[in-house]
Amino acid sequence: MTFYAVANGRSIGIFLNWNDCNNSVKGYKNALYKESKKRKVDTDIAWDKVKWIDLEMKEDFLEKAKALFNGEECDTRVQFPVDLDDDTILKLSMEAHKRDITLNKMIEIILQEVIDRHRVNGTLA
């Protein structure tokens, strides 16, 4: 059996047929999907040109926050959890969908805006 894993599309998840997968990714900006003959996929090789890393969350967050604050390039593979209630996630997801971006990208934009608002003369206020 063939499975289709969608990491970025209108719907994210595992699809059992190409039509459902295609409906999720066709015309979707930066769609990311992969066909697999098995349901479980090794995340180290799941997506072309994407190498996942697993670092300590606290160090990841501080390193990324410092780079964002200083306007420096940062490793976008570094992730940290954001604890949001269901209503907030729904609202953010709907806004991300309107903008044709991922929820992660939406949260990244919000974090950058918050950092920019609190930046005064190159330091956080």
Predicted confidence at residue 122, as pLDDT, reads: 63
Supply the pTM of this predicted model. 0.38
Q: Tell me the two tokens of residue 4.
A: 């289709």
End-to-end CA distance of the chain: 56
How high is the mean pLDDT of the chain?
A: 75
Region 28-42 average pLDDT? 75
Predicted confidence at residue 98, as pLDDT, reads: 92
| pLDDT tens readout for residues 3-33 | 888 888 888 777 888 999 999 899 888 888 8
Q: What is the dihedral of CA 102, 106, 109, 111, to 10 degrees?
A: -120
For tokens 């991922």, the residue is 102
Predicted confidence at residue 22, as pLDDT, reads: 92
Question: Residue 75: pLDDT above 70?
Answer: no
Please tell me what DSSP assigns to residue 19: H
> Are the beta carbons of 31 and 102 closer than 8 angstroms?
no
Predicted confidence at residue 18, as pLDDT, reads: 92
Region 31-43 average pLDDT? 71
Residue 42 and residue 58: Cα distance in Å, rounded? 25
Question: Residue 90: pLDDT above 80?
Answer: yes
Residue 94 and residue 92: Cα distance in Å, rounded? 5
Predicted confidence at residue 19, as pLDDT, reads: 92
Beta 3-8 vs 13-15: how paired, if at all?
antiparallel
Lowest mean pLDDT among 14-28, 44-58, 63-77, 86-100: 44-58
Can you count the helices (H) and strands (E) in the chain?
4, 5
Region 112-116 average pLDDT? 81
Q: Tell me the two tokens of residue 35.
A: 């066909």
